[in-house]
Structure 1
């Protein structure tokens, strides 16, 4: 590990307990180690080994190799009670890092460009603290270190492997470091936070020919152009204007020469929406539109449509709990951003379909230090002061959950 000055924990230090402040340099060191050795989804062997070694050193019972590289750790309190899960994702992205920092990625073409190294470090520090303060909560904390959030998705196979059982999870929480919010803020809301993610690929087959003799051809570019325009009417005319949705065509490939009519055109895009009632709707409507336009021009098509992640929908009770906790960590009211939403997607949604829970954003941008590049950018980085704030919020959530128990269905397991 390269030695380099650490970011001081200077934002509202009085609101972060002394033990977490003292742990902060180690949290930063863990994050920077993980940042130097990023791994893609379902390949997080080094990351999982690092996490497991820390958990073992702290005497925390855990299981490895879940959904290939996932880890689940269990920390029981000194008294029986409900089960609260904390989820952190571990994977990186296929991006070449451009940051000139001592802890830059040592894996060519792979980078932690979304903050998952920070999520893992925060969860590790939370585990470390709770393992030393088991008498502060009545119940069990389950920490889920998940692979492959960036794709193809590690949450669903972890759920299928039983991570929400034995013991059964009553509620789940998670956070995302967020460079669209400044350091010292928390974005949290009840209901939809992030959008469903659906993808489509379509090949339109016409009949190629000479550009000067179009009457003997079926121009796939003309057909494709009409498809792109017509797809925009789905949101404009088929979706309730009070709802939010997006249909984006991100790729359009066709043609080989200036004077040749292309026989084939390939379109790819994404669909985003918040309301679960639209599940299945967009795929059907896109197919209807493409089929109608192709039929009108005598072309054919092949459409592949797939749903990646459902929308992230927060439980009102758990969101309220986290909001009340965050108010003790950040300055209020400016530090709480109650209507924060994004059309970005996250497979935390699969966990929230199974148990009540809440996912929230922890502001991590610091414009004065040049730490404001967006997620998935080759120069993405964040203010590490946010790491200690994340641990403090998680620990306070554990204490409040087991004291106040917002999940009323708990029966004293």
Structure 2
């Protein structure tokens, strides 16, 4: 079966490459993927498979039913783009100013389209069901959570869910696997430091929120170095500082923003709590006051070890064991496929697309050489899971 799947992936590669480049040329931001969803549905229409959609979410769920009853497996791709202006001379560069596929979701979507074409060709030999999810809004506010809360997956007992993510740091033709925690939880924060405005020449008559902010920015790094286990990664980054309007005026307030990234639930709770306590305490010690708001985002993405073993086995058969790379470290980036893995056994793996620019850069482009490997992996995972 692997040989047939690989042959079909090779046969469909030109069409899937064209689809990927169309998607790259026409990116849409999270929650706005109307034309992307229309393209997906139009592409799938000739395959004569069941499609589920909903009016309030630009999601598409394609259902491939085998000839006999059996287990059900899910495959997922994200479809949204980022608010970045593309800087490239590609003939298929983004036509939507200020929006581009800088995280490979065009490649993820195209890969799943090709995977469905392969599985539709093989449907008369399958026992069970394959649920293929085209999910909006991975980049902003968790479209995965909204999809799982919808009725699009009703009626199926899904035994496992799989997804891939483009990875420029591995060469095309390889895959990367990671057992356990693979990506971090995301908690973004907003801090308002309240002081007392005054003349810059007379700081005694003011409470300087700029000075307080400087101490806050350095103090919160102590949480990373002193309030977590050394083997438990965590990141706190202050990425926004806004305050003041004139060089001779101490402002009344300064606003800070940034993110807290953790892998373990206990560490997440502790750092979020201590962050608030520390920021409020530092501000108070200088005579000011702090308002702290932490927006709890995606949970950590934790792969099921048994499902990673399965991905490793299938990867060894599809690309060869030498091209299945065990990733040494988790990524401190976030991914809302984590919500699926809280509900179902499953795993995400990295699809090597190197050489390529860094993810989220304004010169990023998905390497089309990786599409064939992606299709073969996803189709093989689905077929072999049904055969277990």
- TM-score, normalising length from structure 1? 0.90
Residues of 1 paired with 2:124 and 2:234: CA distance?
47
What are the equivalent positions in structure 2 for 1:49-88 lying under 5 Å apart? Answer: 49-65=38-54, 67-88=56-77
> Compared with structure 1, are the counterparts of its residues 15 and 245 closer, same or farther at alpha carbon in structure 2 (3 Å cutoff)?
farther
Per-residue CA deviation, residues 359-404 of structure 1 (Å, 9 max, x unaligned), is: 11101012xxxxx211111110132010110010011111221122
- 1:375 is the counterpart of 2:355: no
Structure 1 residue 15 displacement after superposition:
9.8
- 1:126 is the counterpart of 2:110: no
SS in 1 for 2:290: strand
- 1:196 is the counterpart of 2:185: yes
- 1:232 is the counterpart of 2:221: yes
Match of 1:392 among 354, 376, 387: 376
Equivalent residue number for residue 285 of structure 2: 296
The count of aligned residue pairs is: 387
What runs of 5+ residues in structure 1 fail to find an aligned partner? 1-12, 367-371, 405-413
Task: Check whether the contact 1:330–1:336 (CA below 8 A) recurs between aligned residues.
Answer: no
Task: Check whether the contact 2:193–2:254 (CA below 8 A) recurs between aligned residues.
Answer: yes
Match of 1:142 among 131, 139, 157: 131
Per-residue CA deviation, residues 231-252 of structure 1 (Å, 9 max, x unaligned), is: 0111111111121000111111
Structure 1 residue 181 displacement after superposition:
1.7
Residues of 1 paired with 2:386 and 2:329: CA distance?
27
What runs of 5+ residues in structure 2 fail to find an aligned partner? none
Structure 1 residue 37 displacement after superposition:
0.9
> Compared with structure 1, are the counterparts of its residues 67 and 166 closer, same or farther at alpha carbon in structure 2 (3 Å cutoff)?
farther
What are the equivalent positions in structure 2 for 1:280-359 lying under 5 Å apart? Answer: 280-359=269-348
Task: Check whether the contact 1:15–1:329 (CA below 8 A) recurs between aligned residues.
Answer: no
Task: Check whether the contact 1:188–1:360 (CA below 8 A) recurs between aligned residues.
Answer: yes
- TM-score, normalising length from structure 2? 0.96
**Greater helix proportion:** 2
CA RMSD in angstroms comes to 1.7
Task: Check whether the contact 1:195–1:342 (CA below 8 A) recurs between aligned residues.
Answer: yes
What are the equivalent positions in structure 2 for 1:204-219 lying under 5 Å apart? Answer: 204-219=193-208
> Compared with structure 1, are the counterparts of its residues 40 and 116 closer, same or farther at alpha carbon in structure 2 (3 Å cutoff)?
same
Segments ≥4 residues shifted beyond 3 Å: 13-16
Structure 1 residue 32 displacement after superposition:
0.7
> Compared with structure 1, are the counterparts of its residues 374 and 336 closer, same or farther at alpha carbon in structure 2 (3 Å cutoff)?
same
Structure 1 residue 48 displacement after superposition:
0.6
